[in-house]
Amino acid sequence: QKEVEQDPGPLSVPEGAIVSLNCTYSNSAFQYFMWYRQYSRKGPELLMYTYSSGNKEDGRFTAQVDKSSKYISLFIRDSQPSDSATYLCAMSRLYGQNFVFGPGTRLSVLP
C-alpha cells in the first residue's frame, strides 16, 4: 500500500462546478498537510497548507483534514478554466521535513 493515495483522474468538470479532490494516507503520524497545483510544463506551487485536523478557506479554495479517517480534501468553488492543472497533496510528520507527495489528480475545467 502506498503511503499516500490519490485518484489520478483525469477529472473533467464544466466551468462553475464545485470540484472535490481527495487523498488518503496510511501514516497516522502525519500532521502537516499541503496542496500543490502544477500547471503543464511547470513545477508545483503551494496552494493551501493546514496543520492537524480542521478546515481552512482561501477564496474559492477550501482544504479539509480528517485525521481520524486519514483523509484530506480540497474543494474548489466556481471552478474556472484557469484551474485546469494537476493537484498534488503532500504531507509530513515533522514541520518542514520529509514531505510525502501523492501522485496527483489531473483536473480539466471545460468552458
Partner 1 sequence: DVKVTQSSRYLVKRTGEKVFLECVQDMDHENMFWYRQDPGLGLRLIYFSYDVKMKEKGDIPEGYSVSREKKERFSLILESASTNQTSMYLCASSFTTGTGSAYEQYFGPGTRLTVT
The site for partner 1 (CB under 8 A) is made up of 4, 6, 8, 32, 34, 41-46, 49, 88, 90, 92, 94-97, 99, 101-104
How far CA 95 is from CA of 34, 55, 75, 106, in Å, comes to 12, 19, 24, 27
The smaller minimum CB distance to partner 1, of residues 17 and 92, is found at 92
Task: State yes or no: cis peptide before 10, omega within 30 of 0.
Answer: yes
Distance in Å, CB of 111 to partner 1, minimum: 26
- Beta-strand ranges (E) seen in the chain are 4-6, 11-14, 19-25, 32-38, 45-51, 54-58, 61-66, 71-76, 85-92, 100-101, 105-110
The smaller minimum CB distance to partner 1, of residues 15 and 45, is found at 45
Distance in Å, CB of 101 to partner 1, minimum: 4
The smaller minimum CB distance to partner 1, of residues 10 and 16, is found at 10
Distance in Å, CB of 49 to partner 1, minimum: 5
